[in-house]
C-alpha cells in the first residue's frame, strides 16, 4: 500500500528543500562571500568565476545566488543581497531565466555542446544585465571542447559572465 503524503506538499529532496537562496543563508563560505562582496563594492567583477570543492558544499547553489545578485533589478545594480522579488530573481530561482543558462558538462562534454555557448555569447542578454553561463562539472569537458571555449573565455563580451563549478580544479 503506498504511503500517503500527509502534508499535501510535493516531495522535495532535502538538498533542494534547504538550498540557500541568499549569501546570508550560506554556511561555511565566509571567505567566498567576503571576496565577492568586495568585488561588487569596488565594481571589479571578473568575467569568469570558478567554484571548486567536494560535492555537496554548494557550488551550484552559489552560482545561482551569484547570478541573481548580478542581475537583480531590485537593487539597481550588482548586489550581494538580491531582493528575491523582482522578475530576474524569481525566474533564476525557478530555473527559467532566458539569460541564465546552465550546462551540465558531465553530460555535454563535446565541442558541439560548447559551440552553443560560443554562439550565444555573441548576443546581448534579452532581459537581464548580464548573460550568465553556469557550467557545472566543467572538468568533464573534453580537451577539444575546452579549447573551443577558450577564445571566448579570454575575450568575452562585456555583458557575459561565466561561472564554472568543479570538484577537480
Q: Which tens digits make up the pLDDT trace of 83-106?
A: 999 999 999 999 999 999 999 999
Q: Specify burial of residue 137 (Cβ count, 10 A radius: 0-12, 13-18, 19+).
A: buried
Indicate the SS3 state at residue 164: strand
What global pTM score does this model have?
0.89
State the chain's maximal CA–CA distance in angstroms. Answer: 60
User: pLDDT for 98-153, tens place per residue?
Assistant: 999 999 999 999 999 999 999 999 999 999 999 999 999 999 999 999 999 999 99
Take residue 95 and report the three cell numbers written for it. Answer: 530555473
pLDDT band, very low/low/confident/very high, at 2 (cuts 50, 70, 90): low
Q: What is the pLDDT of residue 21?
A: 87
Range list of H helices, 27-103: 30-42, 59-71, 87-94
Amino acid at each position: 500500500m503506498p504511503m500517503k503524503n500527509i502534508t499535501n506538499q510535493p516531495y522535495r529532496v532535502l538538498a533542494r528543500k534547504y538550498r540557500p537562496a541568499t549569501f546570508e543563508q550560506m554556511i561555511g563560505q565566509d571567505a567566498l562571500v567576503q571576496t565577492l562582496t568586495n568585488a561588487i563594492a569596488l565594481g571589479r567583477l571578473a568575467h569568469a568565476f570558478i567554484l571548486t570543492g567536494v560535492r555537496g558544499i554548494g557550488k551550484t547553489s552559489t552560482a545561482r545566488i551569484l547570478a541573481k545578485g548580478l542581475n537583480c533589478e531590485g537593487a539597481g545594480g550588482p548586489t550581494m543581497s538580491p531582493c528575491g522579488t523582482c522578475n530576474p530573481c524569481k525566474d533564476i530561482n525557478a530555473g527559467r531565466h532566458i539569460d541564465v543558462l546552465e550546462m551540465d558538462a558531465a553530460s555535454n562534454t563535446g565541442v558541439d555542446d560548447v559551440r552553443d555557448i560560443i554562439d550565444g555569447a555573441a548576443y546581448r542578454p534579452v532581459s537581464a544585465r548580464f548573460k550568465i553561463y553556469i557550467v557545472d562539472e566543467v572538468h568533464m569537458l573534453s580537451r577539444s571542447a575546452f579549447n573551443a571555449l577558450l577564445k571566448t573565455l579570454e575575450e568575452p563580451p562585456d555583458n557575459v559572465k561565466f561561472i564554472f563549478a568543479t570538484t577537480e580544479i
